[in-house]
Amino acid sequence: MPPNAPGALGHVDDPRRPLLAWIGKLPAGFTVAPHAHARAQLALCYDGLMRLRVGGDTWFVPDRHGIWIPPGLTHQLTTQTATEVHHLYIDAARASRLPLPRTPAVVRATPLLRGIGLRLAQDAAVPVPPAQARRLAWVAFDEMTRLERPDLRLPGGRDPRLVAAIDALLADPGVPGGLPRAARIVGTSQRTLSRLFRTETGLSFREWQQRMRFMLALERLRLGDSSTALAARLGYSTPSAFIAAFRRYFGQPPSAYRGTGPVPARHEGAQVPTQHHGHSGAGGYTPGFPVADGN
């Protein structure tokens, strides 16, 4: 890890310091080995892209978003691009009394949280007096409970056949063949694989594949990919088919998501599920996702 990595901050047992912060820049492809810590964590992503993996599930974290990680949960964080990361570590007892999720959740970052993180960071030029640090923590906790929670989770599973199928689909998302091809790759029947997707991810194969395509599209758009390139990469018959499906899902065209900046707010009629503050879980699937060509 970089020499100034957060290290033991996640394990500090001191209720008088309810919120600790670390800020740093990580290179593309940087991966933290699976680990857990006593404190809850809010990892905020700026000018980059991250992914969080817990078991078989993956959360996609775009620029100006973050990922909430409950205390004691084994997780693995990976940067997809060079990224400025703000880690906020919350005392576990305090986190348990806040109306925050008990499972990971992507949140939309705010300027207020960014400012508090910068003020509290361990390497801040001017140390924050303890009383002021606690007051900043109370403000931060209130802000955390109000954050929007776009559902950017791609569910996984535990069965080795399902895991192998998911890995193959993520490695080559645009190859035609759909369920028959995936079943051949892992050496099982279409019926069995279809059942595994439904029972372990909560989605049908087509629903899961569609969600995967949109999560990957969101990442690639942030990197500047064109709709034409993405249509070919993700298995759509034409760029217009991709744009239409994307607009139905997110409520805006792909151009609204290209480059830097926060994921635009949901528009009326969009099908992207959003977790609102006050929910206790990572959020579920909202049926009705459009189905792309080439399934």
Q: Are 32 and 123 in contact (CB under 8 A)?
A: no
CATH code of the domain occupying 7-150: 2.60.120.280
Q: What is the pLDDT of residues 113-122, one digit of tens each?
A: 999 999 998 6
**Token pair for residue 247?**
């607009």
- The predicted structure's pLDDT at residue 116: 96
Contact 257, 63 (CB under 8 A): no
Residue 33: Cβ within 10 Å count? 7
Residue 13 has pLDDT above 60, yes or no: yes
Paired residues of 60 in beta bridges: 51
Is the distance from CB of 273 to CB of 283 less than 8 angstroms?
A: yes
> Whole-prediction pTM value?
0.80
Q: Among the listed ranges 78-92, 180-194, 246-260, which one has the minimum average pLDDT value?
A: 246-260
d(CA 18, CA 218): 34
Cα-trace Rg, the chain = 20
Sign of CA dihedral 171, 176, 180, 184: negative
Closest by Cα among 73, 93, 85 to 31: 85
3-class state of residue 258 by DSSP: coil
Average pLDDT, the chain: 85
Q: Tell me the HSE value of 263 on the side-chain side, using a 13 A CA sphere.
A: 30
7-150 and 155-262+271-275, same CATH topology: no
- The SS3 call for residue 43 is strand
Other Cβ atoms less than 10 A from the Cβ of 199: the count is: 11
pLDDT at 279: 34
| pLDDT at position 54 over 90 | yes
User: In the numeric block, which tokens belong to residue 163?
Assistant: 């895991």
pLDDT band at 256 (very low <50, low <70, confident <90, very high): confident
Assign domain 155-262+271-275 to its CATH superfamily. Homeodomain-like (1.10.10.60)
Strands (E) across 91-162 are located at 105-108, 149-150, 153-154
> What is the H or E stretch that residue 275 is in?
strand 274-275
Q: Which range has the worst mean pLDDT, 131-140, 198-207, 270-279? A: 270-279
pLDDT at residue 269 is higher than 80: no
Separation of alpha carbons 47 and 2, rounded Å:
19
Q: What percentage of the chain carries pLDDT values higher than 90?
A: 65
- In the chain, domain spans: 7-150, 155-262+271-275
Contact 83, 32 (CB under 8 A): no
**Residue 214: partners with Cβ closer than 8 Å, 6 or more residues away:** 246, 249, 250, 289
